[in-house]
Amino acid sequence: MTFRLTCPVCGKRDIYEFTFGGQERGPRPEQEGLSAEEHFRWTQFRMIPCEPQEEWWYHAQGCGVWFRSTRDPGTNLEVEGAADE
């Protein structure tokens, strides 16, 4: 399995250069009154949709930027025009 991603700084690069940061789960929840259940749900629970999802990627072997990418895990391809920039 191999594919490419578009880094907002460096452009389309090979997947070997990136590390995965998981699905977009929204900002870190407020900790005041946060139950353990809610915390673990936010950190651990992952959905595996077979449709485009928003993800975080880090250009580790490149410019070092974290960016969001909308990608379809079914085809491993980025979805055109869905970038939130």
Partner 1 sequence: MSEAPPARGNPPPGRLPPGPTCQVDFSRPLDFTFLGRGVRGFAGDTVASALFGAGVRTFGRSLKYHRPRGLYSMEGESSNTFMAIDGVPNECAETTALRAGMSVRAQNVRGDPRTDFFGLIDPFDRLMPAGFYYRLFHRPYGFWPLFQNGLRRMAGTGVLDPQRDHVRDGLRAERYMNAEVAIVGGGAAGMSTALAAAESGLRVCLFERRPWLGGHLAWRVRDFEGQPLYRRAEALARRLRAAENVKVFTNSPVTGVWGENLVTGFTIGAEDDPFRECHWECRAKTVVVAAGCMDRPLVFNHNDRPGVMQAGAAWRLARTHAVRPGWAAVFSVADDLSLEAAVDLADLGVEVRGVADAREAGRQDPAVVAALEERGIPLLPGWAVSRAMGRRRVRACELRPLDGGGSSHFQCDLLVANGGMQPRIGVLASAKAKLSYCTHTHTYQPAELPPGVFAAGSMTGLRDPRSIEASGRLAGCRAADLAGGAASARRTDTARRDADALPGPVAGCDIRHGPGIGRGAKAFVDLDEDGTYKNVKESAAQGFDVPELAKRFGGFGLGPGQYRVTGQNLAMIMADLRGDPVETATPTTVRPPLAPPSLATLAGPGHDVHKRTPLHAEQAAQGAVFRRAGPWQRARYFSDDVTCRAEIRNVRNNVGILDSSPLGKFRIFGPDALNALQRVYISDMRKTRPGRCKYSAMCNDMGHLLDDGVIVEEGDNDYYFTTSSGRAGATVEWFRFHTRHDGWDYNLVNLTDVLGSLNIAGPNARKVLQRVTADDVSNEAFRYMACRRITVGDGVRARCLRLGFVGELSYELHVPSSYSRYLWDLLMEAGDDLGIQPFGLEAQYCLRAEKGHIIIGAESEARVTLTDIGMGWMWDRHDTASKKVGAPALRACEKQPGRMKLVGFRVDEGQGTPRDGALVVDGAEIVGYVCTTRRSEALGWQYGMALVRDGNAANGATLSLQEEQKPGERATFSATVTSPHFYDPKGTRLRA
* Shortest reach from residue 49's CB to partner 1, in Å: 19
- In the complex with partner 1, which residue's Cβ is closer, 31 or 81? 31
Please state the φ and ψ torsions of residue 34, each to the nearest 5 degrees.
-75, 125
Cα–Cα distance measured from residue 32 to residue 81, given in angstroms and rounded to the nearest whole number:
37
C-alpha distances out from residue 15 to 28, 33, 36, 57, 66, Å: 27, 39, 35, 10, 14
* Shortest reach from residue 48's CB to partner 1, in Å: 18
What amino acid is encoded at 73 in this protein? P
- In the complex with partner 1, which residue's Cβ is closer, 2 or 51? 2
- In the complex with partner 1, which residue's Cβ is closer, 28 or 49? 28
Residues in contact with partner 1 by the rule CB under 8 A = 1-4, 14, 19, 21, 26-32, 34, 36, 39-40, 43, 56, 58, 60, 64-66, 76-77
